[in-house]
């Protein structure tokens, strides 16, 4: 394998190297743990990268993530880097004025939120941010497309 030059070069090493494990990442969904192997992780990242490209995401484009700690955050982090876009990770607990500032300064088209609670914190700001095209949710959230629709 070639030397690692970029952080996402780790994916193939992770998938085929000494990191084979039944659980590379795990998340709790409705009280039940779901485990992702290293291969699952890499496959999700690659599918998500292709999906983002099919949405027209370009290198250097910002994608805002307001996501609690979960495996999907890792999928987005690596997929966004892999296509040359820029993840703008935002803490879910910041103030509305901070959200407004970040949204205006980043000119994002796509926002990823964990759930309804986080979406409700930004939804009133969205009409004043014309660059925003779509907000996707990690959890099933009425009125928002699920993140898997990107795949």
- Relative orientation angle of helices 71-82 and 38-54, to the nearest 10 degrees: 50
- Evaluate whether 91 touches 126 at the Cβ level (below 8 Å): no
pTM, two decimals, is 0.90
Rounded distance, CA 91 to CA 147, Å? Answer: 19
Domain boundaries, the chain: 7-150
Q: In what order do the strands lie in the sheet with 134-137?
A: 86-89, 62-66, 110-113, 134-137
Lowest mean pLDDT among 12-26, 47-61, 137-151: 12-26
Confidence of residue 38 (pLDDT cuts 50, 70, 90): confident
Rounded distance, CA 127 to CA 25, Å? Answer: 36
- What percentage of the chain exceeds 90 in pLDDT? 79
Helices H, strands E: what count in the chain?
Answer: 5, 6
Rounded distance, CA 8 to CA 15, Å? Answer: 12
Rounded distance, CA 63 to CA 87, Å? Answer: 5
Average pLDDT over residues 79-106: 97
Provide the CATH topology of domain 7-150.
Rossmann fold (3.40.50)
Confidence of residue 2 (pLDDT cuts 50, 70, 90): low
């Amino acid at each position: 394998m070639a030397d690692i030059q970029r952080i996402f070069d780790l994916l193939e090493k992770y998938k085929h190297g000494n990191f084979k494990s039944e659980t590379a990442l795990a998340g709790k969904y409705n009280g039940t743990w779901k485990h992702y192997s290293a291969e699952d992780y890499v496959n999700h990242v690659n599918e998500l990268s292709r999906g983002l490209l099919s949405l027209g995401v370009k290198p250097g484009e910002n994608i805002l993530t307001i996501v609690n700690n979960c495996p999907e955050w890792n999928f987005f982090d690596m997929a966004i880097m892999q296509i040359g876009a820029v993840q703008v990770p935002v803490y879910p607990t910041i103030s509305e004025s901070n959200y407004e500032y970040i949204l205006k300064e980043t000119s994002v088209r796509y926002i990823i939120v964990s759930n309804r609670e986080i979406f409700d914190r930004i939804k009133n700001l969205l009409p004043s941010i014309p660059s925003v095209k779509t907000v996707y949710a990690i959890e099933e959230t009425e009125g928002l497309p699920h993140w898997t629709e990107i795949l």
